[in-house]
Amino acid sequence: MPGFYSDSIFWVEVDRIKPNPYQPRKDFDGAKLNDLAASIRQYGVLQPLVVTRKEFQKSDGGLGTEYELIAGERRLRASKIAGLTQVPVIIRAEVDSDKMKLELAIIENLQREDLNAMDRARAFDRLVNEFGFKQTEVAKKIGKSREYVSNTLRLLMMPVEMQEALSQGRISEGHTRPLLMLIDRPPEQDILFRDIMLRKLSVRESEGIARRIAVDRVRKWKRMYDPEIVAMEERLKEVLGTRVVIETKEVGGKLVIDFFSDEDLRGILSLFNEKAGAPPSVPLPNAEAPVDDRAPQEIAKAADSDETFDPRNFSI
């Protein structure tokens, strides 16, 4: 096949271009496709599609030509929506294997940053497991580090629900790091995933929670001799609806309660106030604080009181 095909631009009917069976991109946003179609109606297709060309013998004995898409499926779909009958293409003459079709499609999409994290992970997985590439080879071809490829492939270890959330943009790729930290603890991983979704946790908040869970696992393993503390901690988690850590020391210890918003904090304080017989609504520090009209001696006496909260006496 003439070599100039690789550098020249041709106009081909959209109906004669077959989709690429190795297209790594699976998710196409309908609204964004319509936006691109509107732009194509006004300005045309500014970047040619990449295709292969193949001749075949027709039933009447003549020769026919068909094209298979290598890169540019989003532009092809938008062109059809825009009503175009032809699109500009570059014909790659040297593409003669399925491996090269997949390789070119992945690289083109990566260069244009058109693949979401999960599409990228699945594409890398196909290169490694279906076509025998080593991770170092994949990294070299896309101009990334081996660690980048390895970390991307680890996304496939997440449950399907989390993979779908990442593909749809409901969680970011940064959120997957703390989720993967809990890969060997599915219940905690699922709780963190729900928190990220419902509470809109940032990546930093999510990583902090994952680290605390990991540390808590070690701490619990070290103190399994005191199942009463573990049971009280679980009870408090159930009652308060959030993560609770009881840290014991040689003398005393401390109680750590997670909250994620002012509303969460008010709800937790209300539970304690109800048990103490106080009004259910307690102002936060940024609210106007009530005036304490007790005598100084009474305030000092209360501050010196030895009364402390004991989880053993807390129940709902």
How distant is the alpha carbon of residue 50 from its chain centre? Answer: 30
The phi and psi torsions of 7 (rounded to 5 degrees) equal: -110, -15
- Burial pattern 44-72, b for ≥16 Cβ within 10 A else e, equals ebeebbbbbbeeeeeeeeeeeeebbbbbb
Told to judge if 173 belongs to the known catalytic residues of this protein, a careful annotator would answer: no
Q: Which two tokens stand for residue 175?
A: 């959120």
Task: Assign 3-state DSSP to the chain and report helix, strand, coil percentages, each to 5.
Answer: 55, 15, 35
Question: Whole-angstrom Cα distance, residue 243 to residue 3?
Answer: 65
Residue type, 282: V
**Closest by alpha carbon to 93, among 33, 8, 161?**
8
Contacts of 217 (CB under 8 A, 6+ apart): 185
Residue-by-residue DSSP string for 26-52: ----HHHHHHHHHHHHHH---S-EEEE
Instruction: Exactly one of 13, 55, 73, 247 is catalytic; name it.
Output: 73
DSSP structure class, residue 7: T
Say how far apart CA 108 and CA 123 lie, in whole Å: 12
For the annotated catalytic residues, the residue numbers are 73
